[in-house]
Homo-oligomer: A and B are copies of this chain.
Amino acid sequence: MPAFAKRMEYMAGSADIIRGLFGAMNDPETISFGGGAPASDALPVEQLREIANDVLTRGSRGVEALQYGPVQGVKQLRDIVAEKLLAPKGVPATADDILIVNGGLETMNLLCQVFINPGDVILCESPTFVHCVEIFEMFEAKCVGCKTDDFGIVPEDVEEKIRELHPKMVYVIPTFQNPTGKTLPADRRQKLAELGSKYDVIILEDDPYRDLRYSGEELKPIKSYDKTGHTVLANSFSKIFSPGSRLGYVYADHAIIDKLIDAKSATNSHTSMLPQILCAEFFVRGYFDEHLKKLCAVHKERRDAMMAALEKNMPEGTKWVFPDGGLFTWVELPGGIDTTELLKESAAYKVAYIAGAGFFVGNTGEGKNCMRISYGNVTPEKIEIGMKRLGDLIKSKL
């Protein structure tokens, strides 16, 4: 067989991690705090059935839904992104500068196509979303982690590393971060946008969780502070509409969007039409606001159940993040427990989580005593049972 491309070697490590992290959680008796899915119970099945029934007729949008569509995405959906999702957050956008993509992650792929040469540096949070590291490494980027504290990435460290390493891009998940659940304060958001402008670096803001807020005050996106077009705003409909629909969008400076459209054309022509139309109609029919309220109520109950369960079941000395929204908390165990090792025994306790070490780039040894805990797709009842199991497992090691 001909040799695989060099990039496949480069990404092999992170691809292994991804497969290890997300595979093998299929035992139905296991309560899994792995994954990253929102509540299945809250998916808008009934509304989409009604909409599909209406649009899939020849008199309505049946042909549009099944025939080839525009590379950039359905105009109606791009208008909705601009008017309903971006304008209220202080980001004035027009449909022309928005590209619809096949799930939020596709933006990272396309942006790498457009900007990343092999060897380019991308700065990330420490820890960061490992699936994106897999993407960056497929493009042979050198990922370097930046310091984080209780409030997320530390801008001073970002600036220092920009000066030292001349990165092409800084990748940040500012709100209810994956994997930690932390949220970056306004002053740091502004500072990051300014660093992008000052040093001519792309700030890639990945913000899929922001609308799932259960407490605290809403914060403007980094993009709202951007005066030079250096910030690129990636977002997704996965958490607020449906993950399986694979719908996301990117808003960027026109020159960047033009190139992203070329890359999209040369990746898969365009995003599937029926999901785009179903999503647009979901907004047009006024279902979104009510649905978002429901989503927040369902997930808030789970967040609260998780916080109570941590308090009740974790041994003394355990620390965890109180997330104001999103799907994750980050748990730091006492007593030198290695969560990767511990995972091997978790099957016997019928509980699963994701070990922390995999979320740090470059095998730094950080996060060995940490775990990402997702409460999004676990009912409060199962959170109580599952966290008792996890607590018992951890205590058995102390």
In the complex, what residue of chain B is closest to A377 when comparing beta carbons?
B67
* Interface positions of A from 217 to 255, Cβ below 8 Å from B: 229-230, 238, 242-247, 253, 255
A102-157 residues at the B interface, CB under 8 angstroms: 102-103, 105-106, 109, 112-117, 131, 134-135, 138
A307 interface hit (Cβ, 8 Å):
no
CB-CB under 8 A for A45 and B58, given A272-B275, A275-B275: yes
Q: Is A246 a contact of B271 with CB atoms below 8 Å?
A: yes
A69 surroundings in chain B (CB, below 8 A): 244
**Is the pair B274, A7 in contact by a Cβ cutoff of 8 Å?**
no
Q: How far, in Å, is A35 (CB) from chain B's closest CB?
A: 7
Render A324-363 as a binary contact track against B, CB cut-off 8 A, 1 for contact: 0000000000000000000000000000000000000000
Q: How far is the CA of A229 from the CA of B1 in the complex (A)?
A: 8
Q: Specify which chain B residues have a CB less than 8 angstroms from the CB of A68 in the assembled complex.
A: 35-37, 238, 243-244
Q: Which residues of B contact A270 (CB under 8 A)?
A: 103, 246
User: Given A69-B244, A245-B273, A15 and B101 touching (CB < 8 A)?
Assistant: no
Contact of A103 among B44, B63, B106, B268 (CB under 8 A): B268
> Please, what's the 1-or-0 string for A1-41, where 1 marks a CB less than 8 Å from any CB in chain B?
11011111001000100100000000000000001110010
Q: CA of A275 to CA of B18 in the docked complex: distance in angstroms?
A: 25
A285 CB to nearest B CB, Å = 15
Q: Is the CB of B272 within 8 A of A102?
A: yes
The answer to whether A45 and B66 touch across the interface, beta carbons within 8 angstroms, is: yes
1/0 contact string of A147-189 vs chain B (CB within 8 Å): 0000000000000000000001100000000000000000000
Interface presence of A292 (CB below 8 A): no
Contacting pair B255 A1 (CB below 8 A): yes
State whether A15 touches B265 (Cβ < 8 A).
yes
Q: Which residues of B contact A85 (CB under 8 A)?
A: none
How distant is the Cα of A352 from the Cα of B11 in the complex, in angstroms? 45
Question: Given A134-B265, A268-B246, A272-B102 in contact, is the A57-B40 Cβ separation under 8 Å?
Answer: no
Residue A200 interfacial (CB < 8 Å) = yes
A394–chain B nearest beta-carbon distance, Å: 28
Q: How far is the CB of A238 from chain B (nearest CB, A)?
A: 8
Q: Which of B5, B48, B255 contacts A116 (CB 8 A)?
A: B5
Minimum CB–CB distance from A358 to chain B (whole Å) comes to 14
Nearest CB of chain B from residue A322's CB, rounded to whole Å: 26
**Complex contact B1–A268 (CB within 8 A):** no
A55 to B, closest residue via Cβ: B49
Nearest chain-B residue to A6 (Cβ)? Answer: B117
Q: Are B67's CB and A45's CB within 8 A?
A: no
Binds B, one of A89-97, A205-213, A256-264: A256-264
A18: contacting residue among B5, B35, B169, B265, CB under 8 A: B265
Tell me how far the C-beta of A20 lies from the nearest C-beta in chain B, rounded to whole angstroms: 13
Interface bits A374-395 vs B (CB < 8 Å: 1, else 0): 0000000000000000000000
B200 and A1 form a contact (CB under 8 A): yes
A318 within 8 A of B: no
Give the Cβ gap from A26 to chain B, nearest Cβ, in Å.
Answer: 11
Tell whether, in the assembled complex, residue A66 and residue B113 are in contact, meaning their CB atoms are under 8 Å apart: no
Say whether, besides A2-B115, A5-B117, A269-B246, A67 and B40 are in contact (CB < 8 Å).
Answer: yes
Nearest B residue to A169 by beta-carbon distance? B2
A65 at the interface (CB under 8 A from B): yes
CA distance A266 to B116 in the complex (A): 15
- Inter-chain CA distance A200–B4, complex, in Å, is 12
List 7 interface pairs A-B (beta carbons < 8 Å), by A numbering.
A5-B116, A5-B117, A45-B62, A105-B268, A106-B267, A246-B273, A268-B268
Q: Which 6 A-B pairs have the closest CB atoms?
A: A244-B273, A45-B62, A49-B56, A66-B242, A52-B52, A106-B268
